A and B are shown apart, each in its own frame.
Chain A
């Protein structure tokens, strides 16, 4: 079964639940959000929700961030 995971087309075995997918990716369930075809899947449904052929899945988590402009780090783009 083909799914699109974080923008990348992948081949996976079926049936495949979200919980098993996360496990295969070595991701803990408590710090991720899962969006399937633009709908957020509640964490309590991870173990029962079966992915379908062609599903677009986004898995997101928390990353370092305060502002989105890495090019302004250290000495680049100086004003003075």
Chain B
């Protein structure tokens, strides 16, 4: 086992990815800031939304002029979809607009929490998997739902740390640990990360990757935060692989007693 994070690829549905930090492309000041932050993050998977093009401004710029699809894996999401029908429709549109069968499936259950509608999620995932999609589902930190998503053929499962954009960090570490132990496909902790230590913690628990948007884009200095997140994910991953010491209530001396006066 190498200690070099660059020799620790993440493999999802037979595709190999270098970085364990996935990033969203929303909420940035402009496309240039988006580009610089993504570059600083070291991510090779970036999520995008599917929306109507601007038909009035014919000179409007295009996100993919800044995020080269040859350099990054573009992962379209179904953000903003509240029904199975919408999520399936947007997934099909994403596939038609893009070049791959990958979709980050979101079926949102409630506007205030943006928590997933997990029943709708499973239903939509089944439909899309039958149509040949590679479905990466955004789900709750519910081990049973995560298990079901794996069972129906999702090659990775993406449980939330906390509500989207909340920055609360990991609210339910024990559920996430259960998911990581029981679900035998890569686990990508998605949403709710606030700062670098949250990302490191997710990786230390054994997450295979972390996806975030607001924690970077909403920081005072998004590019610096993207760099911090890159280090945090690498550090957390290495700490996980290295194996932490057990917690003990009392001290254990590090220096030998022998040789003392």
Contacts and interface: CB of A to CB of B under 8 A. Distances in A.
Given A42-B96, A59-B53, A60-B52, A31 B62 contact: yes
Q: Classify chain A: how many residues form its interface, as a range.
A: 20 to 34
A35 interface: yes
A33 B52 contact: no
Contact of B63 (A25, A33, A63, A67): A63
Dominant secondary structure of chain B at its interface with chain A: mixed
A3 B21 CA distance: 43
B48 interface: yes
Contacts, number: 132
A6 B53 contact: yes
Most-contacted residue by chain B among A26, A35, A65, A73 (CB, 10 A) = A65
A60 B86 CA distance: 14
A73 B215 CA distance: 10
Given A40-B96, A70-B27, A63 B48 contact: yes
Interface in B75-108: 76-77, 79-80, 92-98, 108
Nearest to A24: B58
Given A31-B97, A73-B27, A65 B53 contact: no
Contact of A68 (B80, B96, B168): B80
Interface of B: 23-28, 31, 34, 47-53, 55, 58-59, 62-64, 74, 76-77, 79-80, 92-98, 108, 114, 164-168, 191, 211-214, 217-218
Given A5-B55, A27-B53, A67-B164, 16 more contacts: A6-B55, A26-B59, A43-B96, A60-B53, A61-B50, A61-B97, A62-B98, A63-B63, A64-B24, A64-B27, A65-B48, A66-B24, A67-B114, A72-B165, A73-B217, A73-B218
Interface of A: 5-8, 25-28, 31-35, 40, 42-43, 58-70, 72-74, 79
